[in-house]
Structure 1
Amino acid sequence: MIGSKPTIIERKKPNAFEFHLRGLCVSETAVDVLSDDIASSLFERERALLSIDNQLISLGLRLTLLLPAFSLFILLGAWAYEGTDPTWWESSIKPSVGQSFSSTLLLLGTVVGIGWLLALGIHRYRIALSYSAFVQQVEASKERHQSIEALHGFDGMAHRIQKQLRMHSLSFTTVLLSCIGLSVVLLLGLRTSLGQNVFLASWGMLLLAVGFHMNTRQNRFNMVHKSGLLDAFEAPVHPSTLDGVFDDMIRTHLDPLLRSQYDELMRTIQGFVKRGIKHDFAREKVLMTLYRHYNGLDSKTVRLELEEVLKEEGADALLNDESFSVELWLQLIEHAQQQCPAFFRLIDRIEQDMEFGRPPALKDLVFEVDLENVVTKRANLFVFMHNLSKKSRTVVFRVQSPDFRPNQISMRYDLAPGKEVWWSSEALPISIEGNEDVLGKMTGLLRDGTMAWQTLLPERFGEATVSVRLEEVSGDLLIGRQINVNVRNEFRRRLRRIVTLSTQVMGTLVITLASVLELLEIFNV
């Protein structure tokens, strides 16, 4: 990703020498305990605030959206009824409260605005705690000599997190200025020209703050949940050919913090692989089994499948790991499936063909290709090939589309002969002892086959066509397919952009109008 590297605020952990300079004699162990206590306190505060935030403020009741809408509407009523009270108010309520209908609405709108300010303050504080916890994790990785700052995607993720923090601060400051302005209007009243202009500016600031806040609705993050950074992470690059199919797919969509923990877990599991089983096969079998568990495979069968490639201690280490619980594995698979649905659809289609004993597309070659039906930002084209013959062969894969960039792709693949017969002409059970089931055959097929991943960038919205061809080197067509997709904006993203842009433009115009009117009043124009 091109751009300057975001600055991470460094918070140095006090060492024993610094404590000695302060007149304290503390061992390194005591300093580590103190640091752990601080981290634990930070985690507890963030968890408590995140629960409130998710239930009331940014999610659930969504006070950060409900309160500003209510406040803006009430304040418009205060402006509209200035100087004229409704009959029911004038006859029944005004004698008791001694306030006009407009003044009451102005007071109520200001109170609601202050409530929004408090909600934003709590939300902003929770974001600050999450950021502090993030910085602590970065520093902890440095102390373990496993710095995550060098991993792909860290700079972009750190930039999005810091942008979230800045936008929350900007939104909070704008609402604070608006509430101060409304308080001034309560003192001046709407009958004076200064009060009217300050009211307009304050109302415009509220509208502008809504636009700022809408920018924070995406790339949400927290450090309470292990998967809390996934929405703030976007993989800058991905492999064009997946070596370990499931391993590369999962790793590509892991944020740097999770990726370092994932690599550490895989190194641990590697030590429990049974003798005679290759490590890459074991890793793919483990991930394939977890994916089947995501699709409904029961826990008992999952353990039996894992123990076919791992020792009992290895299965325990995987299923009971604190960093990667089974629930987290399911969340990671779901996240990857949301990002690349075509990949998992292709896998499911091959599984179904194996389960029912269907023949492959070609007699001596397995060929499958898939692309998302609905494309938003970019299209992910996946193609899988596996040579079933005993001789190596070279094929050319071509992609042509007038609606995507690049318009033409040509890739040459040398397919090695199949080491084992992974495709069966007979129906296979999902899971039995050994590798003569769908899980075992699929794992071997994906390991020995070739999975290509190409990113296509749409040039226009609407219906689009992608043509794929598999050819011999001589140019003879082996198989060809045409894929029709729909390119469009994601609805929530489009709605968020419309609301953000419209509120920011309208808020700026209202503030500008109030400023011009006040200047004209000052200079008696």
Structure 2
Amino acid sequence: MICWKHAIIHKKKPNAFEFHHRGLCVSETAADVSSEDSTSSLFERERVLLSIDNQLISLGLRLTLLLPAFCLFILIGSWAYEGTDPNWWESSIEPSVGQSFSSTLLLLGTVVGIGWLLALGIHRYRIALSYAAFAHEVEASVKRHQSIEALHGYDGMAHRIHKQLRMHSLSFTTVLLSCIGLGVVLIIGLHTSLGENLFLASWGMLLLAVGFHMNTRQNRFNMVHKSGLLDAFDAPVHPSTLEGVFDDMIRTHLDPLLRSKYDELMRSVQGFVKRGIKHDFAREKVLMTLYRHYNGLDSKTVRLELEEVLKEDGADLILDDKSFSLELWLELIEHAQQQCPAFFRLIDRIEQDMEFGRPPALKDLVFEVDLENVVTKRANLFVFMHNLSKKSRTVVFRVQSPDFRPNQISMRYDLAPGKEMWWSSDSLPIAIEGNEDVLGKMTGLLRDGTMAWQTLLPERFGEATVSVRLEEVSGDLLIGRQINVNVRNEFRRRLRRIVTLSTQVMGALVITLATVLEMLEIFNV
């Protein structure tokens, strides 16, 4: 007889722990979906407000500058015409309106002030959304175990972003108080002493708010564009010798968020490097090709040059990657060129020498140096050296200047012999198949050569000189250069500082005057 007791299939009942674990998985999945929805909503709101902000408020029509200027001008007219209306107003318009010319201007100025307040409110809200998106990206990097908070420049960038928020909040609050004061003046009138003093204080607050807002015109940032944090980032350190010349230059000027994405992309690209090609050469060739594309190299030739060192999927990754589009590459190159024009001028000069087959500065040594012609905050001195001989040699590089700090720099370099003959005495085409073109030769030259980068701090404004010498260890001069530069303030920065300081000082003085007058009125002095 068959025992049905043993034929029964026993189903395992889930215990309490399994129920709890499944509940956690479901709740975590729901939380992730909710987080993604809120993040997409956040970025969408920022995108819409940034478009309005760039077209009307802070850029484009620039309402945050146009409205306060109009408001201040109208309110001055209201003050000037208090008690004395123009004849044309008194005879033609006042009987119909029933308001004096001064009170009408005061009402119009108050309305314009409220419009400025709304514009500042929208701008401040957009900044808050950008900051929230930035904080979300920082938090996401921590969850990926790739925290950007440890990268160079993060603290300075975060400080500038927080300062932007504070200045926007201060400007908005000051304009709000001024509009409230003008509203009270509309009720009690300008003919009373309290109305006059409150009007003066409100006008001074508007001036003060202009000064606060001018502080926010620099270090702009957003999270809609991939390059939106570059203006808020200032590289605190840079390598004194560029190992991978273009790679180090681009990485130095990337904000921490972009730098983490850049490193991730370059790690992915290494998997597509063709066999027999070194990774550092491939990386420099890719960046050199993108720079040539920035200067006008056509897209078809760009792909052909990339496919000389990368597989087809690798070229697609460089040109079509969502996180690093081709447009973003061009923006990054343009940003680096604005920060260090001397570096790219030096690169272009070496390229031209190679293209036309010009001989190097010395028979067995390539030597090039460049410095900005106009220096504002700091001067970036770039020196390139490459040993063309088959023997190692040691040289001493000296920089002397009475107008910059440090006044003297002395550095010793051991130049290894070139692995290949990258310099050609014949003219070369820009781009052909293989490495017998300017792109290939230039990439190898930069990889095997030595690029030094020194920062010089100006001590005074005006004309300045920098003397550069390349010497043997014994002290014999190999080659020397004298560079003349002009040290001055950047015009926009200087104008912004002047307007900021003058409006804040004048606003504070007007508010103080109104306070003193009201105190004297209260105590009948």
Is the structural similarity TM-score above 0.5? yes
CA distance in 1, matches of 2:212, 2:161: 15
Query: Could you tell me how far 1:26 is from its partner in structure 2?
Result: 3.6
CA distance in 1, matches of 2:50, 2:130: 9
Query: Deviation string for 1:357-394 (max 9, x for gaps)?
Result: 00000000000000000000000000000000000000
CA distance in 2, matches of 1:309, 1:301: 13
Largest Rg, 1 or 2? 2
CA separation of 1:123/1:344 partners in 2, compared to 1, >3 Å: closer, same or farther?
same
CA separation of 1:7/1:270 partners in 2, compared to 1, >3 Å: closer, same or farther?
farther
Query: Could you tell me how far 1:24 is from its partner in structure 2?
Result: 10
CA separation of 1:25/1:328 partners in 2, compared to 1, >3 Å: closer, same or farther?
closer
CA distance in 2, matches of 1:97, 1:368: 76
* Structure 1 contact 240–453 (Cα < 8 Å) conserved: yes
CA separation of 1:429/1:374 partners in 2, compared to 1, >3 Å: closer, same or farther?
same
* Structure 1 contact 15–31 (Cα < 8 Å) conserved: no
CA separation of 1:94/1:517 partners in 2, compared to 1, >3 Å: closer, same or farther?
same
The runs of 4+ residues in structure 1 deviating greater than 4 Å are 1-25
Query: Could you tell me how far 1:14 is from its partner in structure 2?
Result: 26
* Structure 1 contact 13–35 (Cα < 8 Å) conserved: no
For normalisation by structure 1, the TM-score amounts to 0.96
CA distance in 2, matches of 1:20, 1:336: 53
- SS of 1:465 mapped into structure 2: strand
Q: Which residue of 2 aligns with 1:330?
A: 330
* Structure 1 contact 19–25 (Cα < 8 Å) conserved: no
What does 1:282-361 align with in structure 2 at a 5 Å threshold?
Answer: 282-361=282-361
Query: Could you tell me how far 1:217 is from its partner in structure 2?
Result: 0.1
CA separation of 1:463/1:112 partners in 2, compared to 1, >3 Å: closer, same or farther?
same
Query: Deviation string for 1:4-35 (max 9, x for gaps)?
Result: 99999999999999999999994322221111
Query: Deviation string for 1:184-220 (max 9, x for gaps)?
Result: 0001111000000000000000000000000000000
CA separation of 1:175/1:405 partners in 2, compared to 1, >3 Å: closer, same or farther?
same
- SS of 2:23 mapped into structure 1: coil
CA distance in 1, matches of 2:377, 2:100: 53
CA distance in 1, matches of 2:36, 2:308: 39
1:20 corresponds to 2:20:
yes
Q: Which residue of 2 aligns with 1:418?
A: 418
CA distance in 2, matches of 1:464, 1:8: 97
CA separation of 1:24/1:262 partners in 2, compared to 1, >3 Å: closer, same or farther?
closer
Identity %: 90
- SS of 2:350 mapped into structure 1: helix
Query: Could you tell me how far 1:318 is from its partner in structure 2?
Result: 1.3
CA separation of 1:47/1:13 partners in 2, compared to 1, >3 Å: closer, same or farther?
farther
* Structure 1 contact 401–407 (Cα < 8 Å) conserved: yes
CA separation of 1:9/1:104 partners in 2, compared to 1, >3 Å: closer, same or farther?
farther
* Structure 1 contact 75–106 (Cα < 8 Å) conserved: yes
* Structure 1 contact 204–507 (Cα < 8 Å) conserved: yes
CA distance in 1, matches of 2:4, 2:117: 33
CA separation of 1:428/1:9 partners in 2, compared to 1, >3 Å: closer, same or farther?
farther
Which segments of 5 or more consecutive residues in structure 1 lack a partner in the other structure?
A: none
CA separation of 1:113/1:7 partners in 2, compared to 1, >3 Å: closer, same or farther?
farther
CA separation of 1:40/1:407 partners in 2, compared to 1, >3 Å: closer, same or farther?
same
Question: How many residues are aligned here?
Answer: 525
* Structure 1 contact 138–147 (Cα < 8 Å) conserved: yes
* Structure 1 contact 220–232 (Cα < 8 Å) conserved: yes
1:250 corresponds to 2:250:
yes
Query: Deviation string for 1:273-304 (max 9, x for gaps)?
Result: 00000000000000000000000000000000
Q: Higher mean Cα deviation, 24-33 or 142-151?
A: 24-33
Query: Could you tell me how far 1:127 is from its partner in structure 2?
Result: 0.1
CA distance in 1, matches of 2:155, 2:8: 10
RMSD: 10.2
CA distance in 2, matches of 1:253, 1:6: 74
Q: Which residue of 2 aligns with 1:488?
A: 488
Query: Deviation string for 1:399-441 (max 9, x for gaps)?
Result: 0001000000001000001110000000000000000000000
CA separation of 1:56/1:412 partners in 2, compared to 1, >3 Å: closer, same or farther?
same
CA separation of 1:22/1:433 partners in 2, compared to 1, >3 Å: closer, same or farther?
closer
CA separation of 1:293/1:9 partners in 2, compared to 1, >3 Å: closer, same or farther?
farther
CA separation of 1:256/1:120 partners in 2, compared to 1, >3 Å: closer, same or farther?
same
Q: Higher mean Cα deviation, 21-30 or 154-163?
A: 21-30
Query: Deviation string for 1:78-119 (max 9, x for gaps)?
Result: 000000000000010000000000000000000000000000
Query: Could you tell me how far 1:38 is from its partner in structure 2?
Result: 0.5
- SS of 1:23 mapped into structure 2: helix
CA separation of 1:475/1:10 partners in 2, compared to 1, >3 Å: closer, same or farther?
farther
Query: Could you tell me how far 1:174 is from its partner in structure 2?
Result: 0.2
CA distance in 2, matches of 1:182, 1:189: 10
Query: Could you tell me how far 1:503 is from its partner in structure 2?
Result: 0.1
- SS of 1:268 mapped into structure 2: helix
CA separation of 1:9/1:452 partners in 2, compared to 1, >3 Å: closer, same or farther?
farther
* Structure 1 contact 403–459 (Cα < 8 Å) conserved: yes
CA distance in 2, matches of 1:486, 1:20: 71
CA separation of 1:11/1:402 partners in 2, compared to 1, >3 Å: closer, same or farther?
farther
